[in-house]
Each structure stands twice: as structure tokens, then as C-alpha cells.
Structure 1
Amino acid sequence: MTSGSLTQPSHRILTPIKNTKPHQQRSRSGLIRIGLLLIMAGLAILTGYLAYSWRSYYEVQVFSTPTGWGYDILSNGEPFIHQPTIPGVPGVVGFTSSEQAQRVGERVVEKLQEDKAMPTLTHDELRQLGVSIP
């Protein structure tokens, strides 16, 4: 064997060495961005759900009374307002029809949804809803 065959050639082909750190940094920052977007989307969904679930759901139910008709307003299925008579009218006077009681109950629900703690109805409002006041 000759000593020349054991030596490496002096004209090496240089292959570029890839720097993996910038690539890793890009991957990491991309993952962080995706993670933050997922967290933000999750918080948005949670906020929407909580806002919807905290909103009170009102329902009007009419019923017959000895003097006519009345209405109940349920909040999330639980009794909230029991109104067996025409509000604001002295004495024990019920609504003359279930339709009148329904319309007035729905108007009270509208006022509740406008954040009025205990809504009231004037005689003019009752007349506009078709209620005949004795």
C-alpha cells in the first residue's frame, strides 16, 4: 500500500451544514400562535355560552279565575309573577279573555327583558293592549 492511498483528497466537496435552530424557532413560534388562537377561540365560545345561559328565559301561561283570566310569568320554568287580576285596577277584576291576559303578560315579559326589575303597566298601556278597564 502506498501512503498516498490512505490520505484524504485535498479537494473536499463542501456540503452546507443546515442550521436547525431558525427552523426550530419558526416551528415553536407557529405552535405558540396556534395555541394562543385556540385559547382565544375557546374563551370566546365560553363567554358566549355563559352569556346565553345566564340570560333568564321567561314564559307566559294564562289561567282561568273565578273573575275571568289571569297570567303567570315563569322564569326558567319557575313561578316568578302570579297575576290573577288586571294590574292597577282596584278590586278583584280578571281579564275578560285569555288573549287579553296573554298580551299583557307578554308586555310584562318585554319590560322584564329591558331590565326593569318589577315592571308596571299604566292604564294607557293596558288600553293599548285591548284591555277594557272598568
Structure 2
Amino acid sequence: MHVLLVEDDEPVARSLRRGLTRYGFEVDWVTTGAAALAHPEPYDVVLLDLGLPDTDGLDVCRALRERGNVPIIVISARSDETDRVVGLELGADDYVSKPFGVREVIARIRAVMRRAQPRAEAAAAGPECIRD
């Protein structure tokens, strides 16, 4: 599974990247919103920090959602309810507050992918058969 990690905090990114790689994920790491939006697809899921140096991560979330249905999991130090609600309303599929454990992030990736894959498989299969 291919992950786009958008995180400007190097120690957090290195730890997360190391943990994800250990569990078999392929991780591309970028440090800015501009790099995230310019990064070539395909990737299966985006892990998105909101506190980016060049733009608000919420704007990146909105732009990614406008492009398509790639699952987005926000990872942020912004942990109050308003920030979580705004992130989810702008298109994030899940929201993880820092500090977090790598295993929790992996479990959330898997949960989001389980929800996303049935929709993709159903769309590829075409319309359902109707029986009398």
C-alpha cells in the first residue's frame, strides 16, 4: 500500500515512516502543502499534518478532496473538537491527534481502506443484478 505522508516535523515523520515501512507500507514523505499537491499519484492514502510551513493543511485537505476520493487521515497537534470537526467536514476520512502511536495510525489506515475498497469494487463491478 502506497502512503503519501505530509509532515514537516522531521522526528515525527521519520518515526512514522520507519513504523509504516516495517509493516509493509511504501511511504513517500513531503514536508509542504505545495509538495503534497504536486506529488504524482497514485497513492492509496494520505497522512496529512495540518501545521505545514507554507499553507494550512486544511486547504491541502480541501484541494485533495476536490481532486478525487483518495482516503485522507489528518494527523495533527490541533486536538480540540472544532479542529477535528472542520477537518472531517472538509473531507478527511479520519483524524488522529498528536501524540499518537504508529500501531494506531496503521489500524486507522486499514479501517479507512476497508471502507474505501468496497465502494471502489462495487463501482468496478457495475450495476447490481435485480432478481424477481
Quick check: TM above 0.5?
Answer: no
Q: Which has the larger radius of gyration?
A: 1
Task: With a CA cutoff of 8 Å and minimum separation of 6, indicate the structure with the bigger relative contact order.
Answer: 2
Shorter-chain TM-score range? under 0.3
